[in-house]
Amino acid sequence: MNTSYIRHIIGQVLKMEATLMLLPCLTALIYKEPEGFAFFITLVVCGLIGFVATYKKPAETTIYLKEGCAATALCWIFLSIFGAIPFVLTGEISHFVDALFETVSGFTTTGASILTDVEKLSHCSLLWRSFTHWIGGMGVLVFLLAIIPLSGASNFNLMKAESPGPSVGKLVPKLKHTARLLYMIYIFMTFVEFVLLLCGKMPVFDALSTSFGTAGTGGFGIKADSLAGYSPFIQWVVTIFMILFGVNFNAYYFIFMRQIKKAVSMEEVKCYFIIIAAAIAIIFFNTFSLFSGIEETLRHSSFQVASIITTTGFSTTDFNLWPETSRFILVLLMFIGACAGSTGGGIKVSRIVLMLKTVKKELYTFMHPKSILKIKIDGKPVEHEVVRSVNVYFISFVIIFCLSLFFLSFEGKDLITCFTAVAATINNIGPGLEEVGPCGNFAGFNPFSKIILILDMLAGRLELFPLLILFHPKAWKELLVTQKSKRHLTKAGKR
């Protein structure tokens, strides 16, 4: 494996994290909070390590998929470890595993918290928590690709490892410009939401944190009751933007290019909206008796549906108290997740569509055993490879899910809590049901269970395989051993 290039990428990511930590430092300055020093110290350490790691340029810049995956997974792990340090230094979260849980939950846009009282946190820590959502939402390496001229044409492997969805395409020929374009759309939409929230008379700090949380489909609230305390207007704005950020960003690119027809005809996006509408309708009728009036019922049901399907995890009401049908619908939505190529998590609508189509095709071949039928999406035949990888993804997902649930069961908590805790972390949502419901939190788990959940969050965000490759013994062997023989080879090649 090309270890020196992986080291270089990790170094760049750390340098970038150091730069991003300027934002909480600035917040601390504005609010005159002493917690800012913790961020500043971490910033300096992180930056220094980054500079040391990137000091020597890698000789070989070609990387293959395995390096792309390993680099991505390692970057996320390093990013989370350094991101967790300030929480420990300020003493706001005393245990390191707790701090790591909180940070991973931030970067993976999960939004699951171990804090029992969020409002005790300083402004700079609160903003950093929300800001990690924003960075993690579109992807750290995508951001890196957009701003740093990394040499080597094979960086597509990095983007492939980080971007959600069964198949990754480019919008424009150059990777750098694709990454920039994505971030431009992302920044623009975040800004629009920010302005709209300000119009709804939300305080600037709250509006900024909430915009970050929505954009990354994260879900860290800065209030104990999440968004329940804000005005209906604000709740509607957040609902709409949550849904918008769950749409495949290719659709926005088409709209931007004035190819509206193409954007509207995207099958995945259509299905996504149909699922949302259906879920809202069912929950609306199911919970009608709980609220007063049509507007309130509609607002709460659509907010919760949007929050769960896009894997954001904000809440305006305690949906744990809802009737069983509504609770079931919400759990189902957790697994479906948002569109591929959005900032959301979950299994992704496109995978679900593809799997349903495979089932339909299989049924059809029972009727006509000799028939030939190709699965199509957007009118284009889907490669067998893609179908296969979606099936493998689903099976791996189930296996990881069961294993995590098994480990969590030792806690002795009830099954719904454990089940939804795993579901909420692996799908990057945040709140589950019962003990981990919107009014509860993850503080009750022991450190071992927390580590399992941390791994679940990372696996869910990176779409399983980039993280799984780190558990392959051969990968470690290659990471550590092959350097010597490779050097030998390049020398021979030069001669």
Partner 1 sequence: MRTIIPHENRGLNIIIAGCGKVGITLIDQLSKEGHYITVIDKNPTKLQTLSNNYDVMTVCGNGASYSVQREAGIESADLIIAVTDSDELNLLCCTVASRSGKCSAIARVRTPDYSIEANYLKNRLGLARIINPELEAANEVTRILSLPTALDVTPFAHGQVEMVKIKIPENSFLDNMEIQNISKNISTDFLISAVERNGEVFIPSGSFILKSGDIMSVVAARRDILSTIKKMNFKSTPIKNTLIIGGGKVAYYLAKQLLNIGFDVKIIEQDRERCEELSILLPKAIIINGDGTDEDLLKEEGIHNCDSFVPLTGIDEENIMLTLYASKVSNAKAVTKINRINFTNVIAGLDLGSVVYPRFLTSEAIIAYVRAMKNSMNSGIETLSHLFNQRVEAIEFKIKEAPAVTNIPLIDLKLKNNLLICVINRNGRVFIPSGQDCFMDGDSVVLVTTHRGFNDINDILK
| Span near partner 1 by CB under 8 A; candidates 149-157, 208-216, 266-274, 336-344 | 149-157
Residue in 23, 41, 45, 65 binding partner 1, rule: CB under 8 A = 65
Residue type for position 26: L
Q: Which is nearer to partner 1, 184 or 281 (CB)?
A: 184
Alpha carbon distance 315, 37 (integer Å): 32
Alpha carbon distance 5, 83 (integer Å): 23
Residue type for position 224: A
Q: Which is nearer to partner 1, 22 or 59 (CB)?
A: 59
- Site for partner 1 contains 356 (CB under 8 A): no
Q: Which is nearer to partner 1, 169 or 412 (CB)?
A: 169
Residue 377 backbone dihedrals phi, psi, to 5 degrees = -135, 135
| Span near partner 1 by CB under 8 A; candidates 26-34, 173-181, 193-201, 398-406 | 173-181
- Site for partner 1 contains 361 (CB under 8 A): no
For partner 1, the binding residues in 299-318 under the rule CB under 8 A are none
Residue 294 backbone dihedrals phi, psi, to 5 degrees = -65, -45
Q: Which is nearer to partner 1, 116 or 151 (CB)?
A: 151
- Site for partner 1 contains 144 (CB under 8 A): no
Alpha carbon distance 97, 451 (integer Å): 7
For partner 1, the binding residues in 253-272 under the rule CB under 8 A are 256-257
Tokens representing residue 93 in the block:
């979260």
Q: Which is nearer to partner 1, 412 or 493 (CB)?
A: 493
Q: How far is the CB of 159 from partner 1 (least distance, A)?
A: 10
Total interface residues for partner 1 by CB under 8 A: 25
Alpha carbon distance 284, 214 (integer Å): 23
Residue in 383, 395, 406, 474 binding partner 1, rule: CB under 8 A = 383
- Site for partner 1 contains 493 (CB under 8 A): yes
Spatial contact of 182 and 152, defined as CB atoms under 8 Å apart: no
- Site for partner 1 contains 484 (CB under 8 A): no
Q: How far is the CB of 153 from partner 1 (least distance, A)?
A: 4
Q: Which is nearer to partner 1, 56 or 376 (CB)?
A: 376
Q: How far is the CB of 156 from partner 1 (least distance, A)?
A: 6
Q: Which is nearer to partner 1, 41 or 184 (CB)?
A: 184
Residue in 2, 155, 163, 428 binding partner 1, rule: CB under 8 A = 155
Residue in 94, 117, 173, 366 binding partner 1, rule: CB under 8 A = 173
Q: How far is the CB of 250 from partner 1 (least distance, A)?
A: 13
Q: How far is the CB of 72 from partner 1 (least distance, A)?
A: 15
CA angle 187, 190, 193 (to 5 degrees): 150
The residue with tokens 């779409």 is 463
From the CB of residue 245, how many other CB atoms can be counted at a distance below 10 Å?
Answer: 27
| List of residues 6+ apart from 412 with CB closer than 8 A | none
What is the DSSP track for 220-237?
A: --SSTTTTTTS-HHHHHH
Alpha-carbon distances of 42 from 30, 81, 92, 171, 436, rounded to whole Å: 19, 11, 15, 36, 31
- Site for partner 1 contains 174 (CB under 8 A): yes
Q: Which is nearer to partner 1, 163 or 214 (CB)?
A: 163
Kindly state the DSSP code that residue 380 receives in the 8-state scheme: E
Alpha carbon distance 82, 21 (integer Å): 10
Residue in 172, 199, 264, 278 binding partner 1, rule: CB under 8 A = 172
Q: How far is the CB of 131 from partner 1 (least distance, A)?
A: 25
Residue in 32, 261, 491, 495 binding partner 1, rule: CB under 8 A = 495
The residue with tokens 């997974």 is 73
User: Reduced to 3 states, what is the DSSP secondary structure of residue 143?
Assistant: helix
Spatial contact of 119 and 224, defined as CB atoms under 8 Å apart: yes
Tokens representing residue 457 in the block:
């969050």
- Site for partner 1 contains 156 (CB under 8 A): yes
Spatial contact of 428 and 461, defined as CB atoms under 8 Å apart: yes
Q: How far is the CB of 149 from partner 1 (least distance, A)?
A: 11
Chain residues binding partner 1 by CB under 8 A are: 64-65, 153-157, 169-177, 180-181, 184, 256-257, 383, 493-495
